[in-house]
Copies of this chain bind each other. A is one copy, B any other.
Amino acid sequence: MILQLPKGTRDFSPEEKISRDRIIGTLKEVFELYGYAPLETPVLEKFDILSSKYAGGAEILKETFRLTDQGGRELGLRYDLTVPLARYIGMNPSIKMPFKRYQIGDVFRDGPVASARYRQFTQCDVDIVGSSSMATDAEIVSLAYTAFCKLNLQAVVKVNNRKLLNDILDYCGLEKDRQESAILSIDKLEKFGREYVKNELKAQKIDERKINTLLGIISLKGENEEKISQLNKFLKDSDGLKEIEELLAHTKAMGLEAGFDVSLARGLSYYTGTVFEAMLKDSGVASSVCGGGRYDNMIGNFLGKGACPAVGISFGLDRIYDALAEKQDSRKKTNTQVYVIPIKALSEGIKAAWQLRDAGIKTDIDSTGKSPSKNLEYANSLGIPYAIFVGKKELEAGKLKLRDMESGKEELLSIERAIELLKNVK
């Protein structure tokens, strides 16, 4: 039997998992700081829910892991956390609105296994359902900045508005039924450049004069205010532009620099207003580390009810992890604080370990009877910062020997004193 992982999945070693847990802990802290409540839904969903026409759409459905249970029921592994949210809201009609929830969980996509694409990856989502105020969208921008600040990552949050994009396309004379595909092309401006987008739009049989007007507008440069004043010159009564102005007024009042980017569109077709994306500054991780937007129709459509305003953002744990992994200084090999080495005094060693743990100190102990030097080698390889020798001779004097693994300095002291010292080096 060949020991292998399924393609596109990976294990996380203790060192890697400690780092992931720290990121998750920080995101949870920030989500709760902003008043979001945790939700957990199963990995398995009924296939007809995942494949609803109002759900993720045809592209994502092609990548859905599908299975049949022993009762012949069609199931699938969730490909995102938004469809389960819509289902949850539908099944719990008494939920108080607005409903602010976060969910951190694994999602699955049976797609082509490209270089940095995983088939199981962790999403960290926050969504507010039931508020159409732009103050809500601004809160999401603020939350993203707080998260990156606490993660010690330099990021910039870019914003745009899908209604504004539709108004711009109207102004350029594009027919409604061509706007959706044009928007998907516009989204590629930053990544693939002007010529690439121009060719895609030409392939959609859009008049070259219209394309040039459009590219001129979405390439607008300058400060947010300049872009808005430029757009105000030719767009009359654009709701999208008003929403962006309101959103930016809120973020400015909070002292945040959200970057208005007229070419930002985000692939998904269900967005109806604000769209967000955050990119890291000075990082090898080129793609966006979080993204989202306002989707006022999706949940209502999904549930067969009227509009149900919603806005949310999703942080990609794996990309944030990769970005932090570039910074070697942030790695921590172990959470264990001290390693007890009994020297022909196993039961005394066990007692010392018990006392240390009882005092809240994360303690490991050798139970295999290795030699002291082998034990030091072991503690060192695990990166445990302190060792305690428990030997009969020292015990007679009521003492233990504490060793600082980095400096090699050793000290004879009582267990109480050792606990005091270890508590202070946390």
Q: Which residues of A contact B (CB under 8 A)?
A: 1, 3-7, 9-14, 16-18, 20-21, 32-35, 37-46, 48-49, 52, 65-67, 69-71, 73, 75, 77, 87-88, 90-92, 96, 98, 100-101, 106, 108, 110, 119-120, 130-133, 135-136, 138-139, 142, 146, 250, 253-254, 303-304, 334-336, 339, 346-347, 350-351, 354, 357, 360-365, 367-369, 378, 381-382
The 8 A-B residue pairs with the shortest CB-CB distance, nearest first, are A35-B364, A14-B37, A9-B42, A135-B367, A12-B40, A67-B67, A17-B38, A133-B367
Query: Residue of B at shortest CB range from A349?
Result: B135
In Å, the complex CA distance between A424 and B32 comes to: 18
Q: Is the CB of B38 within 8 A of A367?
A: no
Q: With A43-B106, A350-B253 given, is the CB distance from A6 to B37 under 8 Å?
A: no
Q: Is the CB of A146 within 8 A of B357?
A: yes
Q: Is the CB of B368 within 8 A of A98?
A: yes
Q: With A18-B38, A43-B120, A368-B131 given, is the CB distance from A254 to B350 under 8 Å?
A: yes
When distances are taken between beta carbons in the complex, the residues of chain B under 8 Å from A38 are 14, 17-18, 21, 335
Q: Is the CB of A10 within 8 A of B100?
A: no
Q: Give the distance to chain B from A80, nearest Cβ to Cβ, in Å.
A: 16
* 24 A-B pairs (CB sep. < 8 Å): A3-B90, A4-B49, A5-B42, A6-B42, A7-B69, A7-B71, A10-B42, A11-B88, A12-B39, A12-B40, A17-B39, A32-B336, A33-B362, A35-B363, A37-B336, A37-B382, A38-B335, A43-B77, A44-B108, A100-B364, A131-B367, A135-B350, A136-B367, A254-B354
Query: Residue of B at shortest CB range from A92?
Result: B13
Query: Residue of B at shortest CB range from A254?
Result: B354
When distances are taken between beta carbons in the complex, the residues of chain B under 8 Å from A45 are 5-6
What copy number does this chain have within its complex?
2
Q: Give the distance to chain B from A180, nearest Cβ to Cβ, in Å.
A: 24
In Å, the complex CA distance between A115 and B130 comes to: 36
Q: Is the CB of B14 within 8 A of A44?
A: no
What secondary structure prevails in chain A residues at the interface with B? mixed
When distances are taken between beta carbons in the complex, the residues of chain B under 8 Å from A21 are 38
Q: Is the CB of A69 within 8 A of B3?
A: no
List 16 other contacts, CB 8 Å, given A7-B73, A136-B367.
Answer: A4-B49, A5-B45, A5-B91, A6-B42, A6-B69, A7-B69, A17-B39, A18-B37, A35-B365, A42-B120, A43-B77, A43-B106, A44-B108, A131-B367, A135-B350, A146-B357
When distances are taken between beta carbons in the complex, the residues of chain B under 8 Å from A66 are 67
Identify which of A6, A120, A339, A382 gathers the most chain B CB atoms within 10 Å of its CB: A6
Q: Is the CB of A33 within 8 A of B360?
A: yes
In Å, the complex CA distance between A142 and B362 comes to: 14
Q: Is the CB of A336 within 8 A of B35?
A: yes
